[in-house]
Structure 1
């Protein structure tokens, strides 16, 4: 994979993962007082990614898996 990738996945995935998880965490904390919604949101994204790659869907699997490590998505929601 070229390091000059136009999509800049090594930088955009953690940022978007944190904002998506923070939005889920804020909603679930305000409505239900659940402190672990961010982790479930990111695990849902990872499960969706796995299903997409397993079933050979094109939408999420277009981007190289070598740039998207689960640790880049799982650790930031644990900080929230």
Structure 2
């Protein structure tokens, strides 16, 4: 899997097939994680990266749902 984060964030499988990612928040999460490969990223950091100054009321639950969507799109092993 390759990740492109300049411009609109994209994921591309090894065979060159693009992975459909969906909305801007999912691409923001991918970008935040791709910039920190192999590292655990605290939930509050990811909330700040994805929602900036306007996080939802239950930001941690919203982040968990977003991570689930990203795992379904990329494969569970891609997002540890």
What is the TM-score with the length of structure 1 in the denominator? 0.34
Which one has a larger percent strand, Structure 1 or Structure 2?
Answer: 2
Higher Cα radius of gyration: 1
Task: For CA contacts below 8 A with separation 6 or more, give which structure has more relative contact order.
Answer: 1
What is the TM-score with the length of structure 2 in the denominator? 0.34
Which one has a larger percent helix, Structure 1 or Structure 2?
Answer: 1
